[in-house]
Structure 1
């Protein structure tokens, strides 16, 4: 009887390991760049990509959930890597950032403070997470505030990544316009 229990226990352990490996294989590691790395690539690549910026904070639970659920989703990660330089930007980061001839800095405010570059990208609406889409010339396409699940996020990313925004407004593309 002990031997049967031991064999069953080993089989259960083996199956559990296989299930965990299956879950891990659905996740994909994203190669995040700093702002400086993405800006350098955008100005030196022969055919530059658009820039995607994930503005987050260390204390933001929804930011962590979006990292885990959305950005590590295999389909999302593959599409984003192919079409965007992906930047992680701490909304409370302390390092100065150069952008279009201006230096943006950390501004102490309240208990923590904020980074001027994050505030400029989010158009003054300090909400985390906020994802930002820039075109190949580093011009603002749109900030998108809030947590996004993989499928809706991919829909938004394709709108900008596939240049659909040049032909259709968001309402028409997303089917939310009046019919």
Structure 2
């Protein structure tokens, strides 16, 4: 299961960090590979050139996008390499770069998983990331051993961890192991239950709740809560996959029962994710307003994210776009950053308010003087678009 809903929640609960877009690692290539191994994430590499116009545009727009940042910061170690400088020249000896930008997805062993050439918008870049992740399977070696009959507890535990890490179903393997155990309260089995409880609508989740006191003592209360939240997130994702409102409700109820401190926020964010995926503009708009009133508390980062989500997904819906305009306007007036006014101008343009969009773009142009040259170029293109 691809944990898209988990990514959505990560953004909404961590705006201050994620709103900056994709975070790129600063270090050597060997250090990036080491980090990939230690964190169990593949690498995303933007091989660019300083003179490359599409590279600059992607850096100024796609890489700064909150949704792109949320997705790539969660799933990859992100690296930018100037392919014409010393480190880049060395990189090109193994990874050919014949056009700019060249985008590589590379595993922890330095092997290419996927690659593409050319600048991407947010949806295109995330689509490339999905294709790369589909090719990453940490469980392959364990699967071969399992087929040969290996059933040692430590092996099964590591197999389940590898399946979870690869976003593949582990419930069948986990249930088979747990049914073979006479005593589920050993330290090993309690840790196994914690790792295996990946969906709230499962028997193993009920075991997690049954032994939550013992597991909390063993692994810590926060670890227990994190796994409860993850299991509920995964059930929301299942609800989205199967278009099942009963699963959505079950996830929200179990979160309320077992992690009440976050349950109200979780319920609203679950509705936002579900109705967005279902293209249900009426209920999505209502969930957005609930979020603004009950969760955001005027946070401009949240307002910007909501406005951008609406612009990217419901630009043809008049009611949703009015909300986007309201959110973007509030963020621009409250925080007043380059990114805030850039988005506000785009929303106004989409809503047919060219004069207001031009005013916002000119304000953005003033703010771009404190940014890099790519920001100035981006806003100039936006002004031409509005005037054209």
Bin for the TM-score computed over the shorter chain: 0.5 to 0.7
For residues 95-134 of structure 1, what are the structure 2 equivalents within 5 Å? 95=87, 115-118=89-92, 120-122=94-96, 125-134=97-106
Tell me if structure 2 keeps the 8 A contact 1:52–1:87. yes
From 26, 45, 60, the counterpart of 1:68: 60
1:147 is matched with 119
Q: Is the 8 A contact 1:121 1:143 kept in 2?
A: no
- Structure 1 vs Structure 2 CA RMSD: 2.4
Match of 2:31 in 1: 37
Post-superposition CA distance 1:31-56 (Å, at most 9, x none): 2113233122123x1x4100111001
Higher strand fraction (1 or 2): 1
Q: Is the 8 A contact 1:119 1:126 kept in 2?
A: no
Structure number with bigger Rg: 2
- Distance across 2 between alignment mates of 1:79 and 1:57: 24
Gaps of 5+ in 1: 1-25, 96-113, 167-179
Quick one: structure 1 residues 58 and 78, their matched pair in 2 at CA, closer, same or farther if it must change by over 3 Å? same
Q: Distance in 1 between matches of 2:62 and 2:101?
A: 12
8 Å Cα contact 1:28-1:73 kept in structure 2: yes
* Post-superposition offset of 1:158: 1.3
Aligned partner of 1:50 in structure 2 is 42
Asked if the contact 1:51–1:134 (Cα under 8 Å) also holds between the matched residues in 2, the reply is: yes
Contact 1:55 1:118 in 2 (8 A): no
Q: 1:150 to 1:160 in 2, by over 3 A?
A: same
Q: Aligned residue for 2:73?
A: 81
Residues 4-53 of structure 1: CA deviation (Å, up to 9, x unaligned): xxxxxxxxxxxxxxxxxxxxxx952432113233122123x1x4100111
1:91 aligns to 2:83 (yes or no): yes
- Conserved 8 A contact 2:104-2:116: yes
Distance of 1:86 and 1:144 partners within structure 2: 15
Kindly state the Cα deviation for residue 134 of structure 1 after the two structures are TM-superposed: 0.8
Higher helix share: 2
Q: How many residues align?
A: 119
Q: Any unmatched runs of 5+ in structure 2?
A: 1-17, 138-388
- Equivalent residues in 2 for 1:6-25, closer than 5 Å: none
- Asked whether the 8 Å contact 1:50–1:138 carries over to 2, the reply is no
